[in-house]
Chains A and B, each alone.
Chain A
Amino acid sequence: MAEVLVYVDHVDGAVRKPTLELLTLARRIGEPVAVHLGAGADTAAPTLAEYGAVRVLTADAPEFADYHVVPKVDALQAAHEAVSPVAVLVPSSAEGKEIAARLAVRIGSGIITDAVDLAAGDDGPVATQSVFAAAFTTRSRVSRGTPVITVKPNSAAPEAAQAAGTVEQLSVTFGELATGTKVVSRTPRAATGRPELTEAAIVVSGGRGVNGAENFHLIESLADSLGAAVGASRAAVDAGWYPHASQVGQTGKSVSPQLYVAAGISGAIQHRAGMQTSKTIVAVNKDAEAPIFDLVDYGVVGDLFEVVPQLTEEVKSRKG
C-alpha cells in the first residue's frame, strides 16, 4: 500500500498532539511512515505505532539542534528518497512550514499550507483550507510532484490504530547549507502549566478591555477553572500586558478550539482570522455593538470585571 511520510513534532521523544492528528489523517491516504529527528525515537515509537505508523524512520545528529531548519530538510529529503511516499505531511508550526517549503523546492513539488482537513481524492489528497480570515473555505490539491501539505493543530481528533511502528535508522548526509544558520543561543519558554495554546480544547482570551497586566489574573483564573489555555489580543500584547507567544490572530497563533472565550476583545478582522474557526464562541464585552458579537453563540454585554469573576466562581462551584 502507498506510504505517507509524517514529520514528527516532539520534545525529547514526547510526541505532540498535532502529530497524532497527522497520523490519523494520513491513514485516509495511505500507510503512515513517521520521521523522527533528534533524540527520543525509542520513547516516541510506541505512541507513533499506536496511532498507525507502520515504520518510524529516525536520525539523530547535533546539527538538528545547532542549526536552523535546513538539517531537518536534508533528513526529510533523505526519507522522501527512501520511501517514495504519495504525500508528505508536516505540522503547521512556523518551523514546520519552513521545512515543508524547502523540501517542496528540492523535490519539485507543490505545497499547501495550513490545511484544516484532508481527504483522499482521485488525483491525490484534497486539502481543505480556511482563507480570507476564515470567510471562505477552499479545497485544493497539489498538481505537480509529491504533495507536501502542512496541517494545522486541532484539524482532526486523534484516533488510535495499532501498527508495527518498526524503528529504522535513516541515513542522512548533510549538505553545505545545513550549517548555514547557526543557533547561537536558545532560551526555552518558561512552562505555564496550562495547555498549549494551539492544541487546547478551550481558550480564554483577554483584550484591551482587561485594562492592565495586573488584571490578567481574572482571565487566568477563568482559564484555570475550565482547564483552558490563555490567549490575548494584539492590543493587550502591544501594551505589554501579556507575552506575544499568547497572541491570537493573524500575526499570532491561529486557534481552533472547541470553546473560545473572548473577554474585552472587540473582534477586529485580524483577531478573527486566528479564532473564527473555533467550534463554540462566547464573549463578554461592554459594547453591544462590538463586532465580536456577530460571531458568538452566547454573548454577555457587560463589564468583564463583574461578569468574568462571577463566571469563574460559578464554574468552580459547578465542578465542585
Chain B
Amino acid sequence: MSLRIVVCVKYVPDATGDRHFSEDLTTDRDAVDGLLSELDEYAVEQALQIADEADDAEITVLTVGPEDARDALRKALSMGADKAVHVEDDDLHGTDAMGTSLVLAKAVEKTGYDLVICGMASTDGVMGVLPALLAERLGVPQVTLLSEVSVEDGKVTGRRDGDAATEQLEAALPAVVSVTDQSGEARYPSFKGIMAAKKKPVESLDLDDLDLDAEQVGLEGAWTKVEDATARPPRSAGTVVKDEGEGGKQLAEFLAGQKFI
C-alpha cells in the first residue's frame, strides 16, 4: 500500500525584506519578494526521507495562497515532491489561521492522506498553531515539533525537545506531524530536479472545488480582527563606545546607572 504524504507549505514575504501591512491590515505581499517559507523546507526534506524509507510513497505539496504561491510549490517539486495542489481563490484574501486550517483540512481530505507534514511555524505569521488546528479538524493525532521523525508499520514516531523535557512520541497513521529546523538540513534542488519539476502536475482548486463558501473564509469571515497596526518606534539611539581597555567597566557603570547592579 502506498504511503500518501501531504506536505503543507506556505509562501511568505522574505523576512530579510522590509515587511509591512496593507491598508486593510493584512500582510502586504507585494512590497517584499515572496518565497517558500524556509521552515517548510524542513518539512519537505523529512517527507522525502520518509518516502525513501517506504516501499512506495507519494508526496503531494499543498499550499493555500495567492497566484505567486505557485513559486513555493515549484521549489518543493524541484526538491523532489511528486505533485502539487494549489488552493487559490480571490475570496481567500485576509483569511486567518482558523480559516486557513479549514481550507487546508478540506484540501488534505480531497487529496487523500496517511501523513500530513507541516513546518514548525510560518516565518511571517509565526503562530505555530496550524498543525494542531489541522489535526483537530481532521480528527487525527498530532505529533508535533519533532527534531527527529520516522514512519514504520503504520505508525509515526518522533523526538520532541520540549521546554521541560525531551519526549519520544508515537501515533498511529493517519496523523499530522510538524518538524523543527533541528530535524536536518534541507537539500538544495538539483538541476535535474528543477527541470523535472516543470513537468510535474500542479492541480489548482478554488473554494467551490472544496465545498466552501466565501463567508467561511477571507477577511470578512475571519475569526479574529486586527484593529490597528503601528510601526514600532525605532529604539532611541544608544551610546556605543570603543573599548580602550575600560569597556567592561564602562558597561558596568551603565548597568549600575540603570539599577541592574
A residues lining the B interface (CB < 8 Å): 11, 68-70, 73, 93-95, 97-98, 100-102, 104-106, 109-114, 126, 130-145, 177, 180-189, 198, 202, 226, 244-245, 250-251, 258-259, 269-270, 273, 276, 280-282, 284, 288, 293-303, 306-315, 318-319
Contact = CB atoms under 8 A, between A and B. Distances in A.
A13 to B, nearest CB: 15
A284 B251 contact: yes
A319 B162 CA distance: 35
Interface in B50-66: none
A184 B170 contact: yes
A105 B250 contact: no
A258 to B, nearest CB: 7
B116 to A, nearest CB: 14
B214 to A, nearest CB: 16
A183 B240 contact: no
B256 to A, nearest CB: 6
A251 B226 contact: no
Nearest to A270: B15
Given A177-B139, A251-B180, A310-B249, A112 B224 contact: yes
Given A105-B98, A298-B240, 5 more contacts: A138-B25, A138-B229, A293-B238, A298-B254, A301-B243
A143 B128 contact: no
Contacts of B252: 311, 314-315, 318
A95 B162 contact: yes
A98 B238 contact: no
B190 to A, nearest CB: 24
Q: Which of B123, B126, B161, B247 has the most CB of A within 10 A?
A: B247
B255 interface: yes
Given A69-B142, A95-B162, A183-B167, A102 B243 contact: no
30 contacts: A68-B143, A68-B167, A69-B142, A70-B141, A97-B127, A101-B130, A101-B132, A105-B101, A105-B133, A111-B129, A132-B19, A136-B20, A138-B227, A139-B229, A140-B224, A141-B225, A181-B175, A182-B169, A182-B171, A187-B167, A250-B15, A251-B121, A282-B255, A284-B247, A298-B238, A298-B255, A310-B249, A314-B248, A314-B252, A315-B255
B256 A318 contact: yes
B136 A102 contact: yes
B251 to A, nearest CB: 5
Contact of A307 (B131, B248, B258): B248
Contacts of B39: 251
A269 B223 CA distance: 30
Nearest to A142: B224
A226 B259 CA distance: 11
A205 B180 CA distance: 22
Interface in B112-170: 120-121, 123-124, 126-133, 135-137, 139-145, 147, 157, 161-170
Nearest to B133: A101
A313 B247 CA distance: 12
B239 interface: yes
Interface in B203-258: 222-232, 235, 238-243, 245-252, 254-256, 258
B236 to A, nearest CB: 8
Contact of B223 (A111, A114, A282, A310): A111
A311 B241 CA distance: 14
Given A143-B224, A306-B247, A185 B167 contact: yes
Given A137-B232, A282-B254, A302-B243, A110 B165 contact: no
Contact of B181 (A198, A251, A276, A314): A251
A80 B98 CA distance: 19
Given A102-B133, A135-B19, A298-B238, A110 B222 contact: yes
Nearest to B246: A310
A250 B126 contact: yes
